[in-house]
Amino acid sequence: MKPGISIADDKANGRHDPSYPDAVALAVEGVSHSYGPRKALDNVSFTVAAGSFTALLGLNGAGKSTLFSIVTRLFGMQTGRIRIFGHDIRRAPGEALRCMGVVFQPRTLDLDLSVTQNLLYHAALHGIHRREARMRSEEVLSRIGLADRLGSKVRDLSGGQMRRLEIARALLHRPRLLLLDEATVGLDVKARAEILGHVRGLVAEQGIGVLWATHLFDEIGPGDDLVILHQGRILARDKVTCIVAKAKARDLNSAFVQLTETGPGSEGTAP
């Protein structure tokens, strides 16, 4: 069952669309982006339901990181519209960003600071008072099994621990949508499984909506919502089982090959 969501409606400034369904955590509508003559995203549209796990599958160069950079406002939006729980990121970026936690593909931790210092810094950037931030830090660290590394320098952590810390940091301000861009890249099988399990647990236990960008098929479950991005265009968006069935393929791997071989301009399962 989908989680129930209630949102503080910012009717006063009209930046939150009250008619917008609360069950939609992220809505990407007709987003295109170019680097000079090269088109990185072409009319990309999809939604992430609140409290769901949605995988964004694409090969390297598909445009996943560009999309993440636009959703998080690192890049400006050239065309289209993005709403996070109804907050337009162009018109109400602050409200949109505070609903969202992000784990970027490159590591964004400060290696010279300790685990706690990294969390406190992030909390301060969200206006969370130091006392409250300390409490939340201990809470999230114990949840990810790093409670005993509070004072450790981040550079002394393993790759998997750093990723878990980044996820903990992204959750510190209690977002309702979590974006993870290839969060398991460079990790061993065990660490990958742990991180994926942890994120799926967040969806099940805390009702957080997740957009999980990856190029690894084994990270996607049959019941997941899936968006396939290829050469900057959406080839398919549906439940994994539906995409496989519509492609008349054996499995997701075959369906993906079939869809991408026919090219971005060909008929896909995207409505």
Partner 1 sequence: MTVVVTDDRPAGFSFAQYLTCMNGIVWREGLRFVHQRERFISALVRPLVWLFIFAAGFRQVLGISIIPPYETYILYEVYITPGLMAMIQLFNGMQSSLSMVYDREMGNMRTLLVSPLPRWYLLFCKLLAGTAVSVLQVYAFLLIAWFWDIEPPPIGYLTVLPALALSGLMLGALGMLISSGIKQLENFAGVMNFVIFPMFFASSALYPLWRVQEGSPLLYDVCLLNPFTHAVELIRFALYGKMNWVSLAVVGGCTVAFMIGAMFAYDPSRGLSRRGPAGGET
Among 32, 116, 117, 241, binds partner 1 (CB under 8 A): 117
Closest listed residue to residue 22, CA positions, set 84, 78, 67: 84
For the bound state, the minimum distance from the C-beta of residue 49 to partner 1, rounded and expressed in Å, comes to: 12
Distance CA 78, CA 42 (A): 11
Q: Quote the CA–CA distance of 9 and 203 in Å, as a whole number.
A: 23
The tokens of 201 are what? 């647990």
| 26: nearest Cα among 203, 209, 206 | 209
To partner 1, the closest distance from the beta carbon of 8 in angstroms equals: 5
Strand, helix or coil for residue 178: strand
Give the count of residues interacting with partner 1 (CB under 8 A).
66
The yes or no reply on residue 8 touching partner 1 (CB under 8 A) is yes
- Phi and psi at 152, nearest 5°, equal -70, 145
CA dihedral 120, 121, 125, 127 (to 10 degrees): 30
Q: How far is the CB of 175 from partner 1 (least distance, A)?
A: 9
Taken as a whole, the chain contains a residue count of 271
Site string for partner 1, 182-221 (x = CB under 8 A): ----------------------xxxxx-------------
SS3 56: strand
Q: Candidates 8-16, 136-144, 188-196, 257-265: pick the segment binding partner 1 (CB under 8 A).
A: 8-16
Q: Does 3 bind partner 1 (CB under 8 A)?
A: yes
d(CA 237, CA 43): 14
Interaction of residue 155 with partner 1, rule CB under 8 A: no
- Tell the smallest beta-carbon distance from residue 62 to partner 1 (Å): 7
> Cα–Cα distances in Å, from 48 out to 32, 149, 203?
18, 34, 12
- Helix or strand holding residue 49 (H, E): strand 38-49
Residues 123-152 that bind partner 1 (CB under 8 A): 123-130
Cβ proximity to partner 1: between 12 and 189 the closer is: 12
Nearer to partner 1, 107 or 246 (CB): 107
- Is residue 37 at the binding interface for partner 1, with CB under 8 A as the rule? no
In eight-state DSSP terms, residue 239 is: E
Q: How far is the CB of 241 from partner 1 (least distance, A)?
A: 23
Whether 194 contacts 230, CB under 8 Å: no
226 lines the binding site for partner 1 (CB under 8 A): no
Site for partner 1 in 55-114 (CB under 8 A): 60-66, 69, 72-77, 85, 93-99, 102, 104-110, 112-113
Which residues of this protein are in contact with partner 1, per CB under 8 A? 1, 3-8, 10, 12-13, 16, 35, 40, 50-51, 60-66, 69, 72-77, 85, 93-99, 102, 104-110, 112-113, 117, 120-130, 176, 181, 204-208
